[in-house]
Amino acid sequence: MRYAILLAAGLAALPLGPAAAESAPPVAVELFTSQGCYSCPPAEAYLGELAGRADVIALEWHVDYWDDLVYGGAGKWRDPFSLAAATARQRAYNAAITGAPRAYTPQMIVAGAAGMVGSDRGEVESAIRKARKAAPAASLAVEPHGDGQIVVSATGAATTLWRVDFVKTHVTEVLRGENKGKRLVSHHIVRAKTRLGATSGKPIATTAPGEGLGCAILAQVGETGPVLAASYCPGSGPARPPA
């Protein structure tokens, strides 16, 4: 049975090509990266592009295993956004997808079900198209409710509802490490993940993000299983283009 995906109020409906599938849900794309990784900036730039698309829920997780690596005379650089939880999430994803708890950067995970090098645009786009063609198994609604509140509800397949809070954008001047001297622009940098509840169809209230912050809601099988539905919180996604 197909379940319609209800997008967050105000989510843009940008054209996706001649045969734009307006009814298809957006796909969660998670980048695992580090400011200490020389090969990561292209993937971060690509994630920034994905963050502006209506067919993608883009999240950028900064892992911590680069923080203590010394790069010759450039020394080491501690990524100010690094999280042990990001590393744990990446390892759990790879254990579920490939059977091995790998950790490398840059890596993108699409819909919680496929992993690839984060700068491989062709493979990422292929995985997004495949996920969009799949019949949605859960319905997710995320709507504003006044007084700084958001209401979330989901029906369909059994999932856990997660709120992922992020910094919308940030510019970092890297002073040491492999990217010494570079000016890195990051988008949708994850700072926290909170369990809201489970699929029940009953509304769950949560607080709207503050200034410069955004959030996304994931309807996911467990903590690192397939993401069956995803939506930005109101005001957190791409801006609606002028009429």
pLDDT at 239: 57
| pLDDT(19) > 80 | no
| pLDDT(7) > 80 | no
Residue at 22 is within a domain: no
Quick one: pLDDT band at residue 147, thresholds 50, 70, 90? confident
Compute the residue count for the chain. 243
The DSSP-derived string for 140-203 is EEEEE-STTEEEEEEEES--EEEEEEEEEEEEEE--SSTTTT-EEEEEEEEEEEEEEEESSSS-
Contact 131, 27 (CB under 8 A): yes
Report pLDDT digits (tens) over 44-94.
Answer: 999 999 999 999 999 999 999 999 999 999 999 999 999 999 999 999 999
In terms of residue numbers, what domain contains 123? 27-232
Q: What is the average pLDDT across 100-110?
A: 95
Residue at 14 is within a domain: no
Residue at 20 is within a domain: no
Q: Please, is 226 exposed, middle or buried when counting C-beta atoms within 10 Å of its C-beta (0-12, 13-18, 19+)?
A: buried
- Angle formed at CA 99 by CA 94 and CA 103, multiple of 5 degrees: 35
pLDDT at 102: 87
Residue at 95 is within a domain: yes
Quick one: pLDDT band at residue 3, thresholds 50, 70, 90? very low
| pLDDT(1) > 50 | no
Select the more confidently predicted residue: 108 or 239: 108
Domain tally for the chain?
Answer: 1
| pLDDT(179) > 50 | yes
Contact 218, 227 (CB under 8 A): yes
Residue at 93 is within a domain: yes
Residue at 2 is within a domain: no
pLDDT at 11: 29
| pLDDT(146) > 60 | yes
pLDDT at 23: 59
Lowest mean pLDDT among 19-23, 97-101, 124-128: 19-23
Residue at 4 is within a domain: no
Residue at 18 is within a domain: no
pTM for this predicted structure: 0.88
| pLDDT(136) > 90 | no
